[in-house]
Chains A and B, each alone.
Chain A
Amino acid sequence: MRHEPLRARFVTPGSVVLVLLMVAGVVVAIVRYARGLGAVTNLSDTYPWGLWIAFDDLCGVALAAGAFTMAALVYIFGGEKYHAFVRPAVLTGFLGYVFVAIALLVDLGQPWRIWHPIVMWHKDSAMFQVSWCVMLYMAVVALQFAPAVFERLGWRQLHELWRALVPAFSVVALSFFTFIMSHSAIWTVVVFGVFAVLALAVPRLFASRAGVPIMLIMAGVILSTMHQSSLGSLFLLMPNKLHHLWWTPILPINFFLSAVAAGFAIVIFEATLSAKSFGRSPESELLAGLGRALCYALWICLVVRLADVMIRGQLAAAFSSGKGLIFLIDVVVGLMVPALILSSARARESMTSLFTAATLAVVGLVFNRLSVALLGMTMPGKVGYFPSIGEFIITIAIVSALVLLFTLSAKIFPVFTREEQEAFGLPGAASQAAGNR
């Protein structure tokens, strides 16, 4: 299966609009850097975290989860037939993390100190874990996407070097991560030993699958798992603020499980959307398969969420308060309804219902993260919070940059396979097919 760049025009009316939205964002950002966060946001000492943390960061990371769920599905769980989805998902994942990083540069009080966690270690802090997961996982995803760049530019030797060094990089990255998060020599040696043995054993035992950077993929899956869950860990320190319909000791696990579901949902969502926008029918058999994976993921999320709420005796609160209503929307609309839709094989094969379910799951994920970071919180005092226009403009600008970067990358680098371009009805394949006739 060969990957090829999309053949389409670089400048389109859509891209002009995106650039204009980005310019608006830059203007707001200039004011923010000159006059402080208070000048453009509605954040306050009561609401120190707002839209940027809740949406840009928490949702951004969760919606980038397609990269690791697809990589795990295809290369570890043996779902080779879904191979065509990996590169677009990895690209989305990488750009998602870029999105998160840009949002952080705007949101942090002193973004020029963003490198501080590299040298100032504090292993007890979930935010420290988050920082390192972002850095290491971005490196891993960049390395996963690198072959596309090497192919495009014809850098054979660099590609060979990449192949040789990637397993060692993965082992070192995981061991180092373990060391900074535990300061334990024993655990570091254990992790180094386990992964070094795996790195040496895998090419010998599984010669048939040589060429797949399995250690890099494993490192990506593990670092993603740590990152997705660490975002949930952040809120473990707020049992007094976050309603106990969401606050639970297993919040990191809930964040991980919902990110896995979001990963499948976003891949289905994107694939259907790009096909729809070119008026072609997508590869429905493969998408139905992903729909089934999403279905399992949603049911697991739902059962864990409800069982946890019941065991902690919080279920009654779901039916007796304003927060309860938010919880019901979160669980019913975001998890239960799409799970029920996808439980029917016929619904999975219908593009409309599959797309509906995937969209609900994506919206549900966003609503869940907003609930944890904002809607489910009870802050002291009477000061409320609703994002300012400036906060919205920055968010829209970064999303625009993301969309623009994705389409540009797909036009420059070989992201989609030929088969997939045909399957998704993408423009390069269409013109090619027309030319062949």
Chain B
Amino acid sequence: MSKACLVDLTKCIACRACQVACKEWNELEAEHTEFFGAPGGYQNPPALSSRTFTLIRFVEMTDNHGKLKWAFARSGCMHCQDPACASACPVGALRKTDEGPVVYDDTKCFGCRYCMMACPFDVPTFQWDSPIPLIRKCTFCADRQRGDVAITSVNDRPLSEESLARHRDSDRTPACVKACSTGTLKFGERGELLAEARNRMAAEPDKYIDHIYGEQEVGGTSWMYISNVPFDQLGFPTTLGKRSYPSYISPAMKAIPAVVTGLGLLLSGVYWVANRKAKAAKSAQKESEQT
């Protein structure tokens, strides 16, 4: 089973605790930014970067009465089921794990930045100001998810199975989800979260847009969103289609051995014909010289 995250944007109040927790857990440096520097006014910083893996976006829109209204959205890795970045990476530094996260290996990457070009959500970022740069992006706290429980006893008394399980669940929850106080973020099994999303939408059909963003986009993603505002207005790319991105390139990659073989046969055929022609021309020349 693979882990996933459901984001219910109707619950988000843009406290940005997730943004801060993400910085803390990943030990990311502060960014030098300007207030009101980004399009959303209060949004800060303006975009994802090698120092910001999670970003709450402030989308300004007008409500039915013509008044200014804010809608909040989140930027971060979608952890695609079949990720374009992993297919793009020439050295296999990016990889979709069975557990859900798309992880990156610092020791492999040589900085070609093809993953950044390939990502349909424009998530991977690059350390442009570093002489030893790496790609940076949300890890879905794969390190936390893999981790074992740190505390097994309290006052020398071992924890009960029940407490241990609770600790384990808590420790394995991504930092942003743990920090979310409004229930916007929910961590769990993908199938269960999809069912949960459908339940919420069925319970309040007037509130929600009838779409689970990430259920089918680019073949499905581990991070999924539900919202009361249409996704295109929130700045989500809505024309990506349901096809997984690697499937656009795999036919070309799979054709390679056949093309190599075919070209070998074709070229030798041409060579054979050209050679016969040359020989025929030569003997014809000889004959005409003799006569």
Contacts and interface: CB of A to CB of B under 8 A. Distances in A.
Contacts of A381: 47, 122
Interface in A375-429: 379-382
14 contacts: A35-B129, A45-B49, A109-B113, A113-B110, A116-B90, A122-B89, A178-B260, A190-B261, A209-B275, A218-B267, A225-B259, A236-B252, A237-B117, A238-B117
Contacts of A34: 131
Interface string B117-130: 11010100111111
Nearest to A175: B260
B253 A123 contact: yes
A304 to B, nearest CB: 16
Given A116-B91, A125-B88, A218-B268, A39 B129 contact: yes
Interface residues of A, number: 78
Given A38-B128, A178-B260, A233-B249, A108 B111 contact: yes
Given A49-B117, A240-B120, 14 more contacts: A34-B131, A48-B116, A80-B278, A181-B256, A182-B256, A190-B261, A191-B261, A205-B272, A221-B267, A226-B260, A237-B87, A237-B88, A239-B241, A252-B252
**Best-buried of A198, A236, A240, A381 by chain B (most CB within 10 Å):** A240
Contacts of B50: 45
B141 interface: no
B111 A76 contact: no
A272 interface: no
A322 interface: no
Contacts of A126: 88, 249, 252-253
Given A117-B90, A124-B246, A198 B264 contact: yes
A80 B282 CA distance: 13
A294 B246 CA distance: 35
A47 B261 CA distance: 38
Say which size band chain B's interface belongs to: 35 or more
Contacts of A187: 257-258, 261
Nearest to B87: A124
Interface stretch (A16-24, A85-93, A127-135, A258-266): A127-135
B40 to A, nearest CB: 13
Contacts of B258: 187
Contacts of A252: 252
B127 A36 contact: yes
B253 A108 contact: no
Nearest to B125: A45
A191 B259 CA distance: 10
A233 B249 CA distance: 7
Interface string B35-69: 00001000000011110000000000000000000
A379 B275 CA distance: 51
